[in-house]
Structure 1
Amino acid sequence: MWIAISALNLAVAVMLGAFGAHGLKARASIEQLNWWHTATDYFFYHAIGLLALGVIAKVIPQIPIKTSFLLIQIGIIFFCGSLYIMALGLPRILGAITPIGGALMIAGWLILAWNAFKFSR
């Protein structure tokens, strides 16, 4: 299941990246394009990270990944989603949830680190 969700994330990241590069370019300001680019970069990085978590779950099942995976996935939705919404010219107030998404992604990676340290003992 984890690898399938990761693959879906990667497919959506490619689609959104292509839309930003081709469909949004003529209509958006430089600032909006930068938000879109940042969202797509972080989407890709963390989707690849989720794929790595899926592989870890198969290779080292003793390391729990569920909490990390969920926090990172929700973080992607909040962080990238809010930047995409702002880039589309929708209410900028939604940018207030961008740092929450970032904090969720950071928490997910820190929990993975904690679990990996516990396993390595």
Structure 2
Amino acid sequence: MKLILFFAAFSGMLSVILGAFAAHGLKGKLSDKMLDTFQVGVQYQMYHSLALILLVILYRQMPQSLMIYSAGFMVAGIIFFSGSLYVLAITQIKWFGPITPLGGLFFIVGWALLLASALKGVN
């Protein structure tokens, strides 16, 4: 889980950097729609970076392998969902669009695995 914590901290930091880059460096260079697309990627990256930190804390209290899998799917979600939105917004290459739902599916599976872990841990 130390690697997950490292990734979460790096990802959180990166989402702040990318948010500032979008607000100051991309404003006026991208259409409002593409800027909004980029910002959605930033928001979901930050939400899931925080979720990863929560998973690390929870794992220390209630170690379950489902939490490790949950974290892995959330990492994949950040890469596929947010990453594809960043590339789509900047390049406007449309074939990156279909990658985004795959990242969303990874997020859903990650949350479902956390839910299953919580249910498994209920006494």
Which TM-score applies when normalising by structure 1? Answer: 0.94
State the number of aligned residues: 121
Counterpart amino acid of 1:28?
L
Which TM-score applies when normalising by structure 2? Answer: 0.92
Of 94, 97, 100, the residue aligned with 2:99 is 97
CA contact (8 A) 1:35 1:87 kept: yes
Of 55, 58, 62, the residue aligned with 2:57 is 55
Specify every segment of 5 or more residues in structure 2 that has no aligned partner in the other structure, as ranges.
none
CA contact (8 A) 1:82 1:94 kept: yes
Corresponding position: 1:109 with 2:99: no
What is the match of residue 76 of structure 1? 78
Aligned partners of 1:63, 1:117: CA distance in 2, in Å? 13
* Deviation beyond 6 Å, 4+ runs, structure 1: none
What is the match of residue 35 of structure 1? 37
CA contact (8 A) 1:63 1:119 kept: no
**Alpha-carbon deviation of 1:63?**
6.2
Listed one character per residue, the Cα deviations across residues 57-99 of structure 1 (whole Å, up to 9, x for unaligned) are 1222246411000001001111111110111024111110100
Counterpart amino acid of 1:74?
A
Q: Which moved more, 1:11-20 or 1:85-94?
A: 85-94
* Aligned-pair Cα RMSD in Å: 1.2
What is the match of residue 18 of structure 1? 20
Aligned partners of 2:91, 2:33: CA distance in 1, in Å? 11
Listed one character per residue, the Cα deviations across residues 28-78 of structure 1 (whole Å, up to 9, x for unaligned) are 101110101111111111111111001111222246411000001001111
Aligned partners of 2:114, 2:64: CA distance in 1, in Å? 12
Aligned partners of 2:97, 2:58: CA distance in 1, in Å? 33
Aligned partners of 2:48, 2:94: CA distance in 1, in Å? 23
